[in-house]
Amino acid sequence: NVSYILNPGYPSGFSLTSNTCDFTIKKCDNSVCQIRLDLETLTLANPVRSSTSGTTGAGTCQTDTLEIQTTSGDKFGPICGSESFSEHLYLDPGSLETDTVTLKFGINVAGTASTQNRFWSIRVIQVECYTQSTAESGCRQW
């Protein structure tokens, strides 16, 4: 099972003063053990580049964030900046057919407004248990 998560208006960019956008992935059935996210395009505001006393540390996602969480408690993020084709993540959604994975995009979340265009195209692959495509337990990349 393959599907895509795209920014509103894709392939055009997405830019708002402040917004959150959540996408929930539901498992097809009980045979799915992992969700693989292929970050075909991800362009969000860059992280903080440097830090000084009393400010947010370098590498911190301040303006835009992508956080991923599952009903099993598996989490990843926040992610910001740019990623492309070579990056992917495996997540454990849980063992129940009703378990989910949620991608939470935050645009201009810290009150630091940026009008740059954001883009995302993320391929979602539901990986069946015990196949050659199944990553080792706890492995983010395979």
- What is the per-residue DSSP string for 30-46? TTEEEEEEEEEEEE-PP
Predicted confidence band of residue 20 (pLDDT cuts 50, 70, 90): confident
Cα gap 44→59, rounded to integer Å: 13
Which is more confidently placed, 50 or 38?
38
Q: Tens digits of per-residue pLDDT, 69-92? A: 999 999 999 999 998 777 899 999
Size of the chain in residues? 142
Distances (CA, A) of 13 to 47, 51, 116, 119: 19, 29, 8, 5
Distance of CA 135 to the CA centre of its chain: 18
